[in-house]
């Protein structure tokens, strides 16, 4: 029935709207430090089965196929692409980029632990190393304190935070940066502000020192750029727009068939 055509095409348009939202978010965050692009996945809906495969025909033989009419599509999930972004050299001693799978761990003001790939850090009024945000002072965990008299800060690839003072040119240790990994990073809850939260789907965070197998290392004076590929996103944008137009034409075709049927007159 053409009425079903309208509803089926509508599911396609609704799903494509969600995909368009995902693409728009990727494009909006093309310059967001440590951002990981998302992808919308689709799945077909239930089917109206007019005849089951393997039914018996009039001669008693089994049929090789059946009659099944699909009822549309929907978004099954959005998955995050956690591939490494390009390294951008900044020269800022408090900018850290992770080369590998690890996440920086910070403490929320409520005491919860959050995780981020954005390594733009700063020092607050209490001389604590914090995530560079004008909204909330997320403190690095484990905490790292850098004295006010420090004139040079050095962070090694294995996460040791060291400093020099005018009175002592030798490097002194201020603390240790750790990294966390997850068995399923797609299961992390996106909190905004470049932050993720652990969930049952992500699994418990495994913490380690940078340089440990499978965790990654830290590059001081650099930031990890967004891994959004503008050309690919533009291609996806065009194909999504065309697919939406095709579904709208199906709606028009179904409407025209219903109009023809409504205008039938008996001779």
Written as tens digits, the pLDDT of the chain (267 aa) is: 568 888 999 999 999 999 999 999 999 999 999 999 999 999 999 888 888 888 887 777 887 888 888 899 999 999 999 999 999 999 999 999 999 999 999 998 888 999 999 999 999 888 999 998 877 788 999 999 998 888 889 999 999 999 888 887 888 888 999 999 999 999 999 999 999 999 999 999 999 999 999 899 999 999 999 999 999 999 999 999 999 999 999 988 888 888 887 787 654
Q: Distance between the two ends of the chain, CA-based, in angstroms?
A: 24
Rounded distance between C-alpha atoms, residue 255 and residue 249, angstroms:
10
The pLDDT value recorded for residue 259 is 82
How far, in whole angstroms, is CA 258 from its chain's centroid?
A: 43
How far, in whole angstroms, is CA 75 from its chain's centroid?
A: 15
Task: Give me the half-sphere count of Cα atoms (radius 13 Å) on the Cβ side of residue 18.
Answer: 16
The pLDDT value recorded for residue 241 is 95
Rounded distance between C-alpha atoms, residue 4 and residue 46, angstroms:
13
The pLDDT value recorded for residue 267 is 47
The pLDDT value recorded for residue 266 is 53
For residue 197, count CB atoms less than 10 angstroms from its CB and return exposed for 0-12, middle for 13-18, buried for 19 or more.
Answer: middle
Question: In degrees rounded to 5, what are phi and psi of residue 103?
Answer: -120, 145
The pLDDT value recorded for residue 231 is 96
For residue 166, count CB atoms less than 10 angstroms from its CB and return exposed for 0-12, middle for 13-18, buried for 19 or more.
Answer: exposed
* β-strand partners of 224: 87
Q: Are the C-beta atoms of residues 55 and 62 closer than 8 Å to each other?
A: yes
């Amino acid at each position: 029935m053409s009425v079903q055509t309208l509803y089926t095409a509508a599911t396609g348009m609704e799903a494509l709207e969600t995909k368009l939202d995902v693409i728009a978010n990727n494009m909006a965050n093309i310059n967001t430090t440590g951002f990981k692009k998302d992808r919308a996945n689709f799945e077909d809906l239930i089917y109206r089965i007019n005849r089951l495969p393997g039914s018996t025909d009039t001669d008693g033989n089994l049929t090789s196929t059946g009659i099944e009419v699909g009822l549309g599509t929907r978004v099954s999930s959005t998955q995050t692409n956690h591939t490494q972004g390009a390294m951008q050299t900044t020269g800022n001693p408090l900018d850290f980029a992770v080369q590998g799978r690890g996440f920086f761990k910070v403490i929320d003001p409520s005491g919860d632990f959050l995780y981020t790939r954005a390594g733009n850090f700063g020092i607050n009024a209490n001389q604590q190393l914090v995530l560079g945000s004008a909204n909330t002072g997320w403190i690095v965990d484990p905490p790292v304190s850098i004295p006010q008299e420090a004139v040079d800060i050095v962070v090694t690839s294995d996460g040791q935070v060291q400093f020099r003072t005018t009175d002592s040119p030798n490097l002194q240790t201020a603390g240790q940066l750790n990294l966390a990994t997850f068995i399923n990073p797609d299961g992390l809850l996106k909190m905004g502000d470049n932050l993720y939260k652990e969930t049952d789907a992500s699994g418990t965070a495994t913490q380690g020192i940078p340089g440990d197998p499978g965790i990654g290392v830290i590059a001081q004076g650099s930031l990890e750029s967004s891994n959004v590929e503008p050309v690919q996103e533009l291609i996806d944008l065009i194909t999504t727009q065309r697919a939406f137009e095709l579904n709208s034409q199906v709606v028009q075709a179904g409407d025209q068939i219903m109009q023809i049927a409504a205008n039938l007159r008996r001779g």
